[in-house]
Amino acid sequence: MGVYVPNKILTNNDLEKIVDTSDAWIRARTGIVERRVVEGDTATSDLAVLAAKAALEDGGVHIDEVDLILVTTSTPDMIFPSTACLVQKKLNSRGAAAFDMQAACTGFIYGMTVASQFIETGMYKTVLLIGADAFTKHINWKDRGTSVIFGDGAGAFVLREADKGYGLLSSYLAADGSGADLLKIPAGGSYHPGSEESVREGLHFVYMNGSEVFKFAVRIFPEAVQRALDKAGLTVDDIDYLVPHQANIRIINSGIERLGINKDKVVINLDRYGNTSTASIPLALYDLYKTGSLKRGDVLVFVGFGAGLTWGANVIRWY
């Protein structure tokens, strides 16, 4: 696996200077201290490529061995072509299939599930799964409900068949489109194409009803973990590490309290990166991975939630 975050750090104190907020409020209400932000014309594909290169190097896999490049993102470089095709071009890969998937902050959970299907069916041997988002490109910095939580980053896995009983054991995926208006970028698609009016009204910025999304996240977090564990025939006690979507420390604390999981088993790095959407789960996992803490046989649970509304969980036995 591999990850990439931009070099530029935006601290809570920096935000205090551009929007009506405070370091104390952001820390207390979200747990975030700083986040990484892209600069200039850096796009999502640039983050994705650097994470992908790190993952390929880590696995000792050459790009020509990759059968499918699957990018999960809700901040693609452009509407089309897919960011996956732009990544393919930058990686000098030819012939591999390439497409994007969009499940917002649940993207990595959906992507892991879809990528593994191609391997399980025998259609592909090697899948490059990348979760990359550059949310700060779509933030209205004067909107304190969104500007304080999002950051940019990317994470990637090179996926191949594992020994029986290892790898992805189960997935639980869910969605409720009736919550579509709670978190969105309204303009730029076929409903509200970019126009003078869309820019004037700020419809190309991220809009979020934070408190409603918060309530939804708190409700589905323990349920998603439990359902994925049930499908794998495991219990909460079997979890070695829980890797949750890094949206808000209060959501994570509520979820683990209701599940009865000890905080030592929960990977948290939102203080340094904020909410990087689909990249947050691989970025958090990488913190464990790079310290050599993961052992073959460890049971990991990923849990995510976000726009759509979408949510889900993966249970993985580390290989």
Q: Which residues bind ligand UT7 (CB under 6 A)?
A: 21, 25, 29-30, 105, 144-145, 148-149, 210-211, 213-214, 217, 247-248, 251, 275, 306
Inter-residue contact 147 to 166 (CB < 8 Å): no
- Which residue is catalytic, options 12, 85, 245, 314? 245
Q: Output the six-digit token pair for 299.
A: 């049971």
Closer of 33 and 63 to ligand UT7 (Cβ): 33
Q: How far is the CB of 67 from ligand UT7 (least distance, A)?
A: 31
- Which residue is catalytic, options 105, 248, 253, 269? 105
Q: How far is the CB of 308 from ligand UT7 (least distance, A)?
A: 10
- Could you give the angle at which helices 107-120 and 280-290 cross, rounded to 10 degrees? 70
Q: Which residue has the tokens 């991220």?
A: 206
Q: How far is the CB of 173 from ligand UT7 (least distance, A)?
A: 16
Residue nearest ligand UT7, CB atom distance: 210
245 is catalytic: yes
- CA–CA gap between residue 289 and residue 317 (Å, rounded): 14
CA dist list (Å): 123 to 99, 120, 161 = 15, 8, 11
Closer of 75 and 275 to ligand UT7 (Cβ): 275
275 is catalytic: yes
- Which residue is catalytic, options 12, 85, 248, 275? 275
Q: How far is the CB of 117 from ligand UT7 (least distance, A)?
A: 25
Q: How far is the CB of 23 from ligand UT7 (least distance, A)?
A: 10
Q: Output the six-digit token pair for 83.
A: 């960011």
Closer of 38 and 299 to ligand UT7 (Cβ): 38
Q: Closest Cα to residue 301, out of 224, 247, 217, 214?
A: 224
Closer of 236 and 249 to ligand UT7 (Cβ): 249
Question: CA angle 1-311-110, nearest 5°?
Answer: 40
Closer of 54 and 105 to ligand UT7 (Cβ): 105
Q: How far is the CB of 222 from ligand UT7 (least distance, A)?
A: 15
Closer of 30 and 170 to ligand UT7 (Cβ): 30
Positions marked active-site: 105, 245, 275
